[in-house]
Amino acid sequence: MPKVTEAYREARRSEIVDAALGCFAAKGFRGTSMADIIAASGLSAGAIYGHYAGKDELFAAVVHRVLSARSVELEELRADHGPLAPGEVMASLIDGMRHEALSPSLFLQVWAEAAIDPGLRELVQRTLATIRRMLGGLVVEWATANPELAGDDPEGYARRAVPVLMGLAPGFMVQRAVLAEFDEDAYLATVRTLIPR
């Protein structure tokens, strides 16, 4: 039997995540079953379960992919412009998320489910902790470079600012999902100007 390479395993895992992302985007978190993901992937159940234990683990892999893409975008922006102002960080993060295949209503579903499903709550908490760390590092860097705006305690500034910054993304997603007249571009432009740069 030929040996399966790590590159092959990663390619197969990526293929499964693609299928899961398509299902979650089309049917939402609750509406998607493992049978849906198996059918969308064209693989056998054994092939899927050989890589992922179930729907929650697959959703975690989708979230990891989305966050990794945002992290790369922020690093590229930072490499071009130096320390990023908090508003620029959040506008970039939100803008990247709105161009993902995942709908804003999916984010709302997951947040609502996390309030009553302990397993999903743990996944959301881990995800938010990752985002908090990423934002914290970027805000400390900016605050260190801009003491006239952030004061002389960059870590303290970041501790106070990051929870507020994190509230901007759900606010965007809620309004995008339920308000027909919501102006996404104006929201992002205002985030950039309201928070120092």
Tokens, residue 118: 């302990």
Cα(50)–Cα(153) distance, rounded to whole angstroms?
48
Tokens, residue 176: 């995008």
* Whole-number pLDDT of residue 88: 94
Report whether 51 contacts 13 (CB < 8 A).
Answer: yes
Sorted by where each starts, the structural domains of the chain and their CATH numbers stand as 56-194 (1.10.357)
* Whole-number pLDDT of residue 109: 84
* Whole-number pLDDT of residue 140: 97
The tens digit of pLDDT for each residue in 8-47 reads 888 899 999 999 988 988 888 888 999 999 999 999 999 9
Residue type, 187: Y
* Whole-number pLDDT of residue 2: 58
* Whole-number pLDDT of residue 107: 82
The tens digit of pLDDT for each residue in 47-93 reads 999 999 999 899 889 888 888 889 999 999 999 999 999 999 999 99
Give the orientation angle of helix 6-31 with respect to helix 104-114, to 10 degrees. 80
Q: Provide the 3-class DSSP secondary structure of residue 101.
A: coil
Cα(134)–Cα(161) distance, rounded to whole angstroms?
13
* Whole-number pLDDT of residue 59: 87
Tell me the pTM: 0.83
Return the ∠ at Cα 11 (arms to 10 and 12), rounded to 5°. Answer: 90
The tens digit of pLDDT for each residue in 100-145 reads 877 777 888 888 888 998 988 998 899 899 999 999 999 999 999 9
The tens digit of pLDDT for each residue in 143-155 reads 999 999 999 999 9
In this model, does residue 94 exceed pLDDT 90?
yes
Q: What does the longest C-alpha to C-alpha distance in the chain come to?
A: 65
